[in-house]
Amino acid sequence: MREELARVSGIKGGASNKRGGGNDLPDPNSFAIADGDNDDHDADYAAEFEHQQQVQMMREQDVHLDGVFQTVGNLRRQADDMGRELEEQREMLEVADNLADRVGGRLQTGAEKLKYIVRKNEDRLSSCCIAVLIFVLILLLVLLLIL
């Protein structure tokens, strides 16, 4: 294994190894972070992170607001249905009230007619005749018993 490694490094090595850039590997200094760039990079990263957080929060709020909007829409439809139902019931109550008024008027008229008939049938003359006939009947019974 060492021999093969030495052979591969010997082929690629040679004069290009002196500069350090002959390999296919990038220069290690290209990965270094400059001292002044670190603060700007952190600030940009923090600002970007906060922006992403705000965007995420706004999306969540939009989802919640959509839910609230749908709930309010459902409540509005239910309120409309209840209003229509109450209007129909009011109309039915008016019809029932009108029918009750008519029936009440008819009952009052019937009661007045009955009072009139009772007064007409309460003839005082016939009551007196009945009383006289009862008296005569009792008198005849007494006479029949005596004789």
* Residue-wise pLDDT tens digits, 18-32: 444 455 666 767 666
What is the Cα gyration radius of the chain?
58
What whole-number percentage of the chain has pLDDT above 70?
72
What is the pLDDT confidence band of residue 147, given thresholds at 50, 70 and 90? Answer: confident
121's enclosing H/E stretch is helix 37-121
Distance of CA 14 to the CA centre of its chain: 84
Does 58 have pLDDT greater than 90?
yes
Task: Kindly report the pTM of this predicted structure.
Answer: 0.41
Q: What are the residues whose beta carbons fall under 8 Å from the beta carbon of 41, sequence distance 6 or more?
A: 33
Cα gap 66→5, rounded to integer Å: 66
Q: What are the residues whose beta carbons fall under 8 Å from the beta carbon of 33, sequence distance 6 or more?
A: 41
pLDDT on residue 40: 61
Q: What does the DSSP 8-state code read for residue 21?
A: -
Q: Which residue has the higher pLDDT, 7 or 14?
A: 7
